[in-house]
Structure 1
Amino acid sequence: MPNENAWSVITAPTSKSLILGVDFPAAGRREAGFEDLAEKMGPAWAGHGFLQTTPPPVRLADRPAGDYYTDFWLRDGDWDAYEVVAVLGYCVGGVYAGEIAERLAQRQGTAPKVILFDAQVTDLQLLESEIHKMIGLAGPVFTADEAEHARKRAAEIVGTPSIGLLDAAVEIVGLYREMASIAFQRIGLAEARRDEVVRLFESYMTWLSAASQIDPSRAWGGSLSITSSDYAELERGGAATVVNATKSLGRRIELEIGHVDLLRDPSTVRTLLDSAEF
């Protein structure tokens, strides 16, 4: 088996065939994940093992290059004993999925299918949006003035002339810690729990920042891309993380599903059964 420190097993392989899912899984998130998709696919994928990426233990201060993640996922394990037939990528995970598929094509001699779900690329505005998301999830925990301060500070960070994406991510994490400290103190949760949440957020910011150093356009050109109604709305609104991604996508199938449910909706399952044989 591939390195168990780099991959979690969604479905144990019963043959030499593997499907890989590239995502940043986090407990308690609202969005469906690859575990939901595997459950919905049921017997259709029963002949394949299904593995999902585990983020490496790396910090923003380490300033990892994009290929650091791919090296971590592919460097150890008995890859020669398996054939990867498909690499699936969710959101920014699609960037890494493309690079993984290209490396595996060279290694195993056959190219895995690349299947993307609401594929995005990273930019400064994506980092800023994570602060807006935090404020929205916190609800009434923050006062109106505190929420406005956080939004303004996030905009100032990403609007700093010539700021690099990694430097912006460091400052966004600092702002996140500041706001988390207010929230956790207000609702009476321990600092240790706050630190755990901030470390997870930093890990996610590191994942996003490193992905910005990868050009996925070649791998994405031959991909199957499945997109949600929310994704289409972001595209119409000119969101750069989506607009820039769509320039490189291969065959695209748009579904009338919200982003949150994309990996668990029956119409996604039908689309995969009809359009993604392997």
Structure 2
Amino acid sequence: MSISSTWAPLRTSSSSEVILCADFHTTGRPEAGFSDLVPQLEHDGNYWLIAPPAVAPDSGVDVDEYIGSWLAPVRESGMTVRAVLGFCVGSVYGASLADELAKSQGTAPKLIVFDPEPTQLVTIQYQLTKVLDMLDTILSEAERAEIHAELGKYLRLDGMTVGRYAAEMFGEFRRISDGAFARAGLDTEYSAEMWSLFSSFLSYLSLAEGLNPRPAWLDATALSSSSPHNGLNRLKVTGEMGTGEFVAHEIRFDEDHAELLRSPGVAETVDKLLER
């Protein structure tokens, strides 16, 4: 299967350098994104935000092919990647991008991560529950109950991985919801657009399971929020990535996870890091 990714410019410049931003940002998301951070930055350069490919979690695409589709347009641009910025699970992808680009361009991009964390099964379940809430007015009570039961059943199966859970639950959501969409009179174009976005997001979350960001993070600077269940705050308590140091440097802020990339103080710190 051949896939391709695109990068959306957040800022253009005559500079020959580009700063890559790894995050899955959609309209209406409550958490701030790089589109909130970049306008506050003074550092000159081109800033690109990834638009991950529209692949379903059961497509068979592996993580190397997925990351390769991100790298192709960057290399074709001929620009030097000055830095890679990653938010949340985007920090996992940012680590791989920085590693691969260090090999091809000869100099390692600076890696700056914001509340870095891997995907967990409960992360997928939480995101699926949010989608279920969005569909509340479309699904019948019986359909909602069936999906809730499937969410719990698959989570308890022995040997369940993030990738398998995402694929199984995507299939269940489609099976149950397509009929409800038709009953509600939603046109096929709207349904296709929604499922494409949903499947892309699940793939983005689940394929990160196949990457080990720890070695690259040990050379990175992390900007951490005050939210106890996000980023390094979470990892230091849960032990899900082991013990010891996770990053080279950590800078802490009072803002919570959702507001981290809106913070003027964070923007000021990023500018200083980019100028070093």
> TM class by shorter-chain length?
0.7 to 0.9
Cα 1:192–1:85, aligned 2, differ >3 Å: closer, same or farther?
Answer: same
Shift of the 183–235 alpha-carbon distance from structure 1 to 2, 3 Å rule, reads: farther
**Superposition TM-score, scaled by structure 2 size:** 0.83
Of 126, 132, 151, which aligns to 2:123?
A: 126
Matched, 1:25 2:21: no
Kept after mapping to 2: 8 A contact 1:235/1:242: no
Paired residues in the alignment total 271
Matched, 1:259 2:257: yes
Q: Which residue of 1 aligns with 2:174?
A: 177
- Structure 1 residue aligned with 2:79, among 82, 103, 110? 82
Structure 2 residue 33 is the aligned partner of structure 1 residue 40 = no
Query: Cα gap change, 1:271/1:264 in structure 2, threshold over 3 Å: closer, same or farther?
Result: same
Tell me the alpha carbon deviations over residues 170-196 of structure 1, each in whole angstroms, 9 at most, x when there is no partner: 121133335655875687643432332
Question: 1:240: how far off?
Answer: 9.6
Match of 2:204 in 1: 207
CA distance in 2, matches of 1:86, 1:236: 21
Q: Which residue of 1 aligns with 2:14?
A: 14
1:229 aligns with 2:226: yes
SS of the residue corresponding to residue 210 of structure 2 reads: coil
TM-superposed deviation, 1:118: 1.7
Report the 3-state secondary structure (helix = DSSP H, G, I; strand = E; otherwise coil) of the residue aligned with 1:233. coil
For structure 1, the residue ranges without an aligned partner over 5 or more in a row are none
TM-score (norm 1): 0.82
Alignment match, 1:69: 66
Q: Which moved more, 1:138-147 or 1:84-93?
A: 138-147
The letter of the residue matching 2:223 is I
Check 1:142–1:56 CA distance in 2 against 1; reply closer, same or farther (3 A cut).
closer
1:95-144 Cα distance to aligned partner (Å, 9 max, x none) = 11111111111222211111111212123222111122224555677687
1:236–1:262 Cα change, 3 Å: closer
Deviates more, 1:266-275 or 1:240-249: 240-249
Q: Secondary structure at the match of 1:212?
A: helix
- Aligned equivalent of 1:114, options 108, 111, 116: 111
Residue 49 of structure 1 corresponds to which residue in structure 2?
A: 46
Amino acid corresponding to residue 28 of structure 1 in structure 2: G
2: CA distance between counterparts of 1:214 and 1:147?
A: 33
C-alpha displacement at 1:263, in angstroms? 1.3
Which residue identity lines up with residue 37 of structure 2 in the other structure? L
Residue 20 to residue 184, structure 1, CA distance change in 2 (3 Å): same
Q: 1:234 to 1:15 in 2, by over 3 A?
A: closer
Change (3 A) 1:245 1:12: farther
Contact 1:123 1:241 in 2 (8 A): no
Cα drift, residue 21 of structure 1: 0.5
> Is the Cα–Cα contact under 8 Å of residues 114 and 224 in structure 1 kept in the other structure?
yes
Q: CA deviation at 1:205?
A: 1.2
Q: Which moved more, 1:145-154 or 1:247-256?
A: 145-154
Contact 2:6/2:52 (<8 A) preserved: yes
Write out per-residue CA displacement over residues 44-88 of structure 1, whole angstroms, 9 at most, x where no aligned residue.
12x211111121243333322222122112234655842211101
Where in structure 2 are there 5+ consecutive unaligned residues? none
Q: Could you tell me whether the CA contact under 8 Å between 1:99 and 1:216 is conserved in 2?
A: yes
Stretch deviating more after TM superposition (130-139 or 95-104)? 130-139
Which moves more between the two structures, 146-155 or 261-270? 146-155
Structure 2 counterpart SS, 1:154: helix
